[in-house]
A and B are shown apart, each in its own frame.
Chain A
Amino acid sequence: MEDGVIRFGKNIVAKEELLCSGHRACQGCGSALIIRLSLKALGKDTIVCTPAGCWSGVGSMYPDTAWQVPWMQTLFENSSAVAAGIESGFRVLMEKGRVPKRHINCLALAGDGATNDIGVAALSGVLERGDDIVYICMDNEAYMNTGIQRSSATPYGAATTTSPAGKVIPGQTTWKKDMPAIVAAHDVPYVATASPSHPFDMMNKVKKAGEVKGPGYVHVLSPCPTGWRFPPELTIEIGRLAVETGVFPLYEVENGHYKLNVDRAQLKPVVEYLKPQGRFRHLSEEQIERIQDRVNKKYADLKARVTGQAA
């Protein structure tokens, strides 16, 4: 039995905590779990770039910090570019023999607003150039840190403070931007989706993203009790329902090959995922039906990609 690890069946997890306790995340925060477990997967030779978002103030506030690895606050849109600069800097210094050779994970760890919206150009640049960074998008489907404003990752129908459930307009009017598909379209070595409700699957994917040569991208659903309006003890349950209803399927794309990691013969009805969340409370039967149709279609598209039968 090795020291420093805990075994869960065939899964081996590092004991060392690289995001230590005492941070300011809300109770039941999905992203706190994502970061804690992802850093266990990547190990201590990791440098983290976090843009504006909850983790600007949650993980550290002078003079405290919960980060046990080098961590920096970046600007909203540039965590991928800063991480790429770090990677290039270390690579050349190692080539020139000025820094001892070792593998350092340069990790951009961003929310959905920083990824899908304001940082999409910088991310696309990194992906296209093949910079050897790890990118984890912690998708809580809105700008939570600034007070639950809609992003392009906010799902159809969800109420946010800028897509309120009004008498005329009932919540978000657009469908969620399919960011993993956009990343995959760059033909990068590794793209995956993950959920903290499936922790070993998530950690394995983050580890793979760190191991591939070139960009590795993991898009993780980050259930947010505060923004989604559900009790904090339901975070894992909500994550699991997102997967089991097909709202957020878990898959990976390795060098262009799609693999569905969790599949069900019969998806649970989306209403089981929507019902416990206050942000969907106002949805009409008709809206729920539209969401169900959309999920069915997207899931079928994904399965076609997995079996190589996509149009």
Chain B
Amino acid sequence: MSKRVALEGSFAAAEAARMADVDVIAAYPITPQSHIIERLADFVANGELHAAYMPVESEHSAMSACWGASGAGARTFTATASQGFFLMHEVLYFVSGMRLPVVMTVANRAVGPPTNIWGDYSDAMTARDTGWIQLFAANNQEIFDFVLSGFRFGEDPDVLLPVMVHLDGFTLSHVVEPVVLPEQEEVDSFLPKYHHPYAYDPDRPMSYGIVMNPDTYAEVKKAQDVSLRESKEVIVRVWKEFGDKFGRYYSPIDGYRTEGARTLLMSTGCLSETAKVAIDRKRDQGEDVGLLTLHLWRPFPFEELYEAVKDADTLIVFDRAISLGGPGGPIISEIKSALFDKRRDIKFAGLVGGLCGRNLTVEQFEEIVDRGREIAERGSSQVLETIGIRG
């Protein structure tokens, strides 16, 4: 029997790693993710989890130790945020390129300066091209479910790629919500033991990360791209199986009240939950507007996007990160690019807000829809449209 418990998002992440019976945790503290690794340290110290807990001296070494452990064949987990995420950056490429299915939660946080600790996605968005599978959780249940299912599809022999689960710093990491925890036996029957077909083995010596020249490098990178793209099928399949087993179904883009909606708002992470209330109000007022929540950021869910917007004529995208000097927020840029060939008739609006933990209310999401429609209809004089930002 599963049980419903009250957990902050950090503890939901830690519970998922514990129930996945991770073998190695290498971590370095940073706000707002520290509760995750503190909880795991408790589990190990109390004998509730048999794992090596490596309290390393930096995030760079955290991700490096994860690389070694995962390559040795150990199920491996870590967590980070913001500047710590940046310190890992160099290693992220090696972990994906070496095809190591490390799972990492990122308690998303703004990037300095100005120095800060609060949530937005300016850390996450810099990892776009690192070759990791990347998911955005919108609530604490999703954090648990995405970490657990992340091990499953990351470790799939047809995938072998690392998985990043993004969760909003503070708004999820430090907020208590009800979370349904499955029984250990249910988890064990869903998640087989990790086995890497090319794990380091003195009886089968291989050379890893070998130097390649212009005649071969590009083919390897292309193959890596194909693997990441094709992982989507496995992710969708695993989520179907997850739903059949645990009763909660996920898809790369989740729709909310999208039936017959001509206008769609797209959001990501926990603010989608606030946006849902705004959508409810709009629907009650008879407006034909629905919500899309982007769960899968990499590999980018092209087909699911085409399907989700097939009946819409207006798409408003809310971004929680600023792309300095760029063409609006990072997500709207990609959405426009993805739809350029398929749906040139769609009118777009992109708004950026919620930076560094600045709260957005239900009313502001209603405003996003109203202004978004206006911008989509009449166009905008500025590249960067914002919500709740002065000046």
Contacts and interface: CB of A to CB of B under 8 A. Distances in A.
A166 interface: no
Contact of B56 (A68, A92, A125): A125
A61 B65 CA distance: 25
Given A61-B210, A92-B23, A128-B57, A81 B205 contact: no
A62 B71 contact: no
Contacts of B94: 74-75
A4 interface: no
Interface string B73-92: 11010000000000000110
B213 A47 contact: no
Interface stretch (B47-55, B151-159, B177-185): B47-55
Interface residues on B, range: 35 or more
B18 interface: no
A118 to B, nearest CB: 10
B202 A81 contact: no
Interface stretch (A9-17, A29-37, A93-101, A248-256): A93-101
B24 A81 contact: no
B64 interface: yes
Contact of B72 (A44, A74, A89, A95): A89
Nearest to B194: A98
A69 interface: yes
A85 B210 contact: no
Contacts of B210: 60-62, 65, 73
A271 interface: no
A72 interface: yes
Nearest to B25: A88
A60 B207 contact: yes
A124 B64 CA distance: 14
B212 A93 contact: no
Contact of B23 (A60, A86, A89): A89
A125 B58 contact: yes
B74 A88 contact: yes
B209 interface: yes
Interface of B: 23-24, 26, 50-52, 54-58, 60-61, 64-74, 76, 90-91, 94, 98, 193, 200-202, 204-213, 216
6 contacts: A46-B202, A69-B202, A71-B207, A85-B24, A85-B70, A121-B58
